[in-house]
Chains A and B, each alone.
Chain A
Amino acid sequence: MKEEGKGKNANKFGMAIDLDKCTGCGSCMVACMAENNVPFKADESNKLDSITWMRVYKLTNGKPFPNADICYLPRPCMHCGGKGDHGHSPCVSVCPATATDYSMETGIVSQIYTRCFGCRYCMAACPYHARYFNWWDPVWPAGMEKYLSPNVSARMRGVVEKCSFCFHRYQLAKDRSFVEGRREVKEDEYQTACTQACPAGAITFGDLNNPDHRIHQLVKPDPRHGGRPQNPTAFRLLERLQTNPKVYYISSKEWVRRAGDNSIKKEST
């Protein structure tokens, strides 16, 4: 597997989602779908075969009223991988046709749709259910196809797709910076659609390797321990599996942090 951070000026783009601020409004989901040409079906009631690169889960503390508490947890692709015990993403190492790859330059896990032949091994490997198979031909209501983004390819039936951290925006920002004679993309030049759309400002996006970026200050990733957050209110989903996600969650509530760590802890909150 490739080792992260060996390239010159290696970035490690990541996301921090403040669950105390998230209201579960779903703006991030809508923005993501519109930005990335995510198709939808006439009947979206079966969530097991619909596509939502960004999905909002509802968590509850399981206690009766008046102690009941809920929390909304947006879940994009975790863009796992990097240093750590495994050092690679669950999905990248299993793809037989190298249709998904880990970028050393950005830390982003990419997906090559024209190379994917739909074996779905990556979906079986992803514990976050962040990968989606195109069970159906993509369709948009008449007229809506005019609004498709020209920067993102529409995916055909029979391939696996997923959140790319709006990678096309990175390409555009990089082009702009190069034209202006810079070799580094500024923090605000590259933001994901969900980050921009969140009305509560719950999502922060940036370079985890850059101490000047807000996300670095928020979660204080520890590179010696696979990027584990030093911020005590920050956590990553399924930390124990050592998938080394680049999506961090922040919550002041202990039960939320525990719920994200693993599924069997029985400690009281």
Chain B
Amino acid sequence: MDSTLIPKGVKRCPIGQFAMGLGPVSVILLWGVFAMLLVWIKGLNQTNMNDNYGFALWIWADLAIIALGGGAFFTGFLRYIIGKDELKNIINYAVLVGFVCYVSAQMILGMDVGQPLRGWFIFWHANVHSMLTEVAFCLTAYLGVLIIEYVPLILENRQIDKVPFFHNLGHNMHEIMVVFAATGAFLSFFHQGSLGGVSGVLFGRPFGYREGIFIWPWTFFLFTWSAAAGGPCFTILVTKITEAITRKKLVKDNVIELLAKISGWMLATYIIAKIIDTIYWATVTAPSLGFSFKFFYSNNAFYGFWILMLEIILGGIIPAAILITDKWRKNPGLFITAIVLAVIGVCVNRWVMVLQVLAVPVMPFDSWTMYIPSWQEVATTLLPIMGGIILISLSYRYLPIFPQEKELNPLD
């Protein structure tokens, strides 16, 4: 029925099987929509956030998916600016994954504020000193860039491409894509950094506070760096998952390897910077504010030194070592382990910078506060993930996302 929409020269499962596969995803999506409506109609009292935990699961999810969506800007940067031509075979998918991540981030932000209808105040009454202002401007502009990067892919659909206007539009957009890739890399650099600055500038919160390079706290650069390292890993992970589900090889090994190797070096240098940052913060910044390093990891039910080890060793040093070592990188088991650990490492970093920052007591007579998200928060966090799965599935089915698919999977 939908065969006329499927790209030529590739094979797709029957529409019924496709719909069945998306069935459970759609059910969870509807559950998320219900929770979202509850939050909008009844308010943020539907969450388990409180006055101590003003930022919680959603902001963590927001920061994590933006970091993981960093594969789009960094792969685009490598492909268009640095000139790594092999990456043209994965750039479409990187853009798609980035697009999904950024749409998800915007959707979450639309739920996370107490007065969603006033969201535009951030642009109208902008406070230039606020990191969130920079985040909002860059994030919105970058989503625009991602849309511009995604549109030519849609125009390549077999039926749409038959219309001369769309064919020419798509062709011309491809020609100027380097401009948007450069703009996107610039915008993404700043908003990834600003997200790092969100907690870095909180001088009233010694756990998150970092001193500055020029006007920016160090976390500004660490966040951009980690997104450039972890984002491509997430793109590779999603590619591998897609290959596993479709039971097809979609991207050649040399492409994946190149991206993984660059990612590994980014991760290796990032983790060195992160370790230096942690040591300086533990020995200089925190004591100057009246806190011992040990204090941040003790006397509570959850946050121990294990989380620091998980982030730096398991989520940083080990995957970096695997990805930069040729022999280990070529081992499929180790490779997947490294990719997964790198993604976990970035997510743990964002968790720590959002939730642990708020859990640590600052007033001497205060105590640690713990937080468990409500089902509404969980459902609405799953909502954009499910939406993303559906969008990726539809894009895979109807758009030529993987240029090497025909070559790798010939139809006899």
Chain A residues with CB under 8 Å of chain B are 1, 46, 48-49, 57-59, 73, 86, 88, 90, 93-99, 115-121, 123-129, 131-137, 156-160, 237-238, 240-243, 259-265
A121, B114: Cβ atoms closer than 8 Å: no
A121, B45: Cβ atoms closer than 8 Å: no
B131, A94: Cβ atoms closer than 8 Å: yes
Measured CA separation A263–B115 after assembly (Å): 35
Interface hub of A46, A59, A121, A132 (most chain B Cβ within 10 A): A121
Which partner residue on chain B sits nearest A122 by CB separation?
A: B54
B241–chain A nearest beta-carbon distance, Å = 33
Measured CA separation A93–B129 after assembly (Å): 6
Measured CA separation A59–B365 after assembly (Å): 6
Besides A115-B121, A242-B203, A262-B364, 12 more A-B contacts (Cβ < 8 Å) are A48-B53, A59-B365, A93-B201, A95-B127, A97-B118, A119-B113, A121-B198, A124-B199, A135-B43, A240-B290, A262-B291, A263-B291
A132, B51: Cβ atoms closer than 8 Å: yes
Which one of B204, B362, B364 contacts A260 once the chains associate, using CB atoms below 8 Å?
Answer: B364
Given A94-B131, A98-B125, A118-B113: A127 and B45 interface contact (C-beta under 8 Å): no
Chain B residues with CB under 8 A of A124: 54-55, 199, 202, 205, 357-358
Interface string of B125-153 (1 = CB under 8 A from A): 11101111100100000000000000000
A163–chain B nearest beta-carbon distance, Å = 14
Say if the beta carbon of B183 comes within 8 Å of chain A: no
Measured CA separation A86–B291 after assembly (Å): 19
A96, B361: Cβ atoms closer than 8 Å: no
Chain B residues with CB under 8 A of A241: 203-204, 206, 289-290, 362
B40–chain A nearest beta-carbon distance, Å = 10
Cβ contacts A to B, 22 pairs, < 8 Å: A48-B50, A48-B369, A96-B136, A97-B126, A97-B127, A115-B125, A117-B113, A117-B118, A117-B121, A118-B115, A124-B54, A124-B199, A133-B114, A134-B114, A241-B206, A241-B290, A243-B204, A259-B365, A263-B295, A263-B366, A264-B292, A265-B290
A259, B121: Cβ atoms closer than 8 Å: no
Chain A residues with CB under 8 A of B363: 57, 127-129, 237-238, 263
Chain B residues with CB under 8 A of A135: 43-45, 49-50
B204, A1: Cβ atoms closer than 8 Å: no
Measured CA separation A1–B129 after assembly (Å): 8
Interface string of B248-289 (1 = CB under 8 A from A): 000000000000000000000000000000000000000011
A49, B203: Cβ atoms closer than 8 Å: no
Measured CA separation A135–B136 after assembly (Å): 24
Say if the beta carbon of B52 comes within 8 Å of chain A: yes
Number of interface residues of B (CB under 8 A): 52
Majority secondary structure of chain A interface residues (helix, strand, loop or mixed): loop
Interface hub of B55, B114, B358 (most chain A Cβ within 10 A): B114
A133, B51: Cβ atoms closer than 8 Å: yes
Interface hub of B112, B124, B130 (most chain A Cβ within 10 A): B130
Given A129-B363, A240-B290, A262-B290: A96 and B54 interface contact (C-beta under 8 Å): no
Interface hub of B125, B206, B291 (most chain A Cβ within 10 A): B125
B278–chain A nearest beta-carbon distance, Å = 18
Chain B residues with CB under 8 A of A242: 203
B203, A90: Cβ atoms closer than 8 Å: yes
8 nearest A-B pairs in the assembled complex, by CB-CB distance: A118-B114, A262-B290, A158-B114, A120-B54, A48-B50, A127-B204, A117-B118, A96-B132
A123, B51: Cβ atoms closer than 8 Å: yes
Given A117-B121, A119-B113, A237-B363: A243 and B203 interface contact (C-beta under 8 Å): yes
Chain A residues with CB under 8 A of B121: 97, 99, 115, 117
Chain A residues with CB under 8 A of B199: 124
B119, A117: Cβ atoms closer than 8 Å: yes
A126, B204: Cβ atoms closer than 8 Å: yes
Measured CA separation A49–B56 after assembly (Å): 14
B295, A125: Cβ atoms closer than 8 Å: no
Measured CA separation A123–B205 after assembly (Å): 11
B51, A136: Cβ atoms closer than 8 Å: no
Given A96-B136, A115-B125, A125-B202: A264 and B291 interface contact (C-beta under 8 Å): yes
Say if the beta carbon of B163 comes within 8 Å of chain A: no
A41–chain B nearest beta-carbon distance, Å = 10
Which one of B116, B129, B205, B290 contacts A263 once the chains associate, using CB atoms below 8 Å?
Answer: B290
Given A48-B369, A129-B363: A94 and B203 interface contact (C-beta under 8 Å): no
B43, A137: Cβ atoms closer than 8 Å: yes
Say if the beta carbon of B122 comes within 8 Å of chain A: yes
Which partner residue on chain A sits nearest B208 by CB separation?
A: A124
Measured CA separation A97–B120 after assembly (Å): 9
B204, A125: Cβ atoms closer than 8 Å: yes
B132, A121: Cβ atoms closer than 8 Å: yes
Given A49-B51, A116-B115, A157-B114: A57 and B365 interface contact (C-beta under 8 Å): yes
Chain B residues with CB under 8 A of A136: 43, 45
Which partner residue on chain A sits nearest B354 by CB separation?
A: A124
Chain A residues with CB under 8 A of B114: 116-120, 133-134, 157-160
Measured CA separation A94–B208 after assembly (Å): 14
A159, B125: Cβ atoms closer than 8 Å: no
A97, B290: Cβ atoms closer than 8 Å: no
Measured CA separation A169–B208 after assembly (Å): 37
Which partner residue on chain B sits nearest A158 by CB separation?
A: B114
Which partner residue on chain A sits nearest B52 by CB separation?
A: A48
A117–chain B nearest beta-carbon distance, Å = 4
A90–chain B nearest beta-carbon distance, Å = 4
Chain A residues with CB under 8 A of B124: 97
B126, A98: Cβ atoms closer than 8 Å: yes
Chain B residues with CB under 8 A of A132: 51
A91–chain B nearest beta-carbon distance, Å = 8
Measured CA separation A259–B363 after assembly (Å): 9
Which partner residue on chain B sits nearest A51 by CB separation?
A: B51
Which partner residue on chain A sits nearest B109 by CB separation?
A: A119
